[in-house]
Amino acid sequence: VSDPRPVGVFDSGIGGLTVLAAIRNALPGENYLYLGDTARLPYGTKSSETVTRYALRAARFLVAQDIKLLVVACNTASAAALPVLEAALLPLPVIGVVIPGAAQAARVSRGAVGVIGTESTIASSTYTRAVLNRRPELRVVTQACPLFVPLAEEGWFDHPVTRDVARIYLAPLLEASVDTVILGCTHYPLLKGAIAQEMGPETNLVDSAEAVAAEVAAYLGKEGRRREAALGGLRVYITDTTERFRRIAQTIIPSGISALELVDLPG
């Protein structure tokens, strides 16, 4: 069997494109629909109730396009809303970014895991629970990094200011001698250079994108639902159109986007 329907991927904005790029690298034959809820970004400073409401609306838009699988490529939405999304969209399979990242960290850590993310993701403690469920003996240290998203969106990926901010945010993780850091926000891989420099070469940096891509490939393979084709398309929907989105999307997906379309979600 083969399933030609597209894979749906959504995020509050552009960060999820890092996840999409990893999935597409693993599964180039699939068609992809990406929704960036740019009219309401960022999610990471908002309450879990509001994030859940936004995530449900975004998911329903993609489900209405007849997708075969939904990837929630946003840590804040995954942390706040994954159980609600799974229940609301049954029987559609839903894969978030938190569990694959937490599982990978639990596999590789030698004792202490650091988690960095938005205020909302850190406040939810979802990563901490997911890591400790797998290996209760680990220590988990968390740190919200609210300036990382705006720094990434400014394009200051390896800028002196970004390195200074990384030094401040990551100091508690260094003090706690973590050996593994979960990049708990899809924007953070863009700042990997600055984060790696601060944490040092011995520290594992867990980028959920790769782990999610592996899970998507495993799921579609197991179910016999891969699309059999050499190259699929990528259609991107955004709820607000700005030059900023085009600029950063170009950096993350340089190979090009088949179509970019503005959509109006209720609310």
List of residues contacting a copy of itself (CB under 8 A): 38-41, 45-47, 49-50, 119, 146-147, 149-151, 153-154, 160-161, 164-165, 168, 239-242, 244, 266-267
CA distance 181 to 33: 30
Q: Which two tokens stand for residue 249?
A: 């999307």
> Which residue number, 164 or 223, has a Cβ lying nearer to a copy of itself?
164
**Smallest gap from residue 263 Cβ to a copy of itself (A):** 12
> Which residue number, 27 or 79, has a Cβ lying nearer to a copy of itself?
79
For the chain, the C-alpha Rg in angstroms (whole number) is 18
> Which residue number, 24 or 46, has a Cβ lying nearer to a copy of itself?
46
**Smallest gap from residue 130 Cβ to a copy of itself (A):** 23
* Residue 248 parent element (H or E): helix 243-252
CA distance 119 to 215: 26
**Smallest gap from residue 246 Cβ to a copy of itself (A):** 12
145 given a catalytic annotation: no
**Smallest gap from residue 148 Cβ to a copy of itself (A):** 10
> Which residue number, 108 or 262, has a Cβ lying nearer to a copy of itself?
262
Helices (H), 2-154: 16-26, 48-63, 75-89, 98-108, 119-124, 126-134, 148-153
**Smallest gap from residue 206 Cβ to a copy of itself (A):** 25
> Which residue number, 45 or 128, has a Cβ lying nearer to a copy of itself?
45
- DSSP label at 62? H
CA distance 79 to 202: 28
74 given a catalytic annotation: yes
Residues 6+ apart with CB under 8 A from 240: 38, 39, 262
**Smallest gap from residue 71 Cβ to a copy of itself (A):** 24
Residues 6+ apart with CB under 8 A from 25: 213
CA distance 44 to 188: 13
> Which residue number, 32 or 43, has a Cβ lying nearer to a copy of itself?
43
Taking a C-beta distance cutoff of 8 angstroms, is the pair 34, 7 a contact? no
Catalytic residue among 33, 69, 74, 209: 74
Residues 6+ apart with CB under 8 A from 151: 159, 161, 162, 165, 191
Catalytic residue among 115, 185, 194, 253: 185
* Catalytic site positions: 74, 185
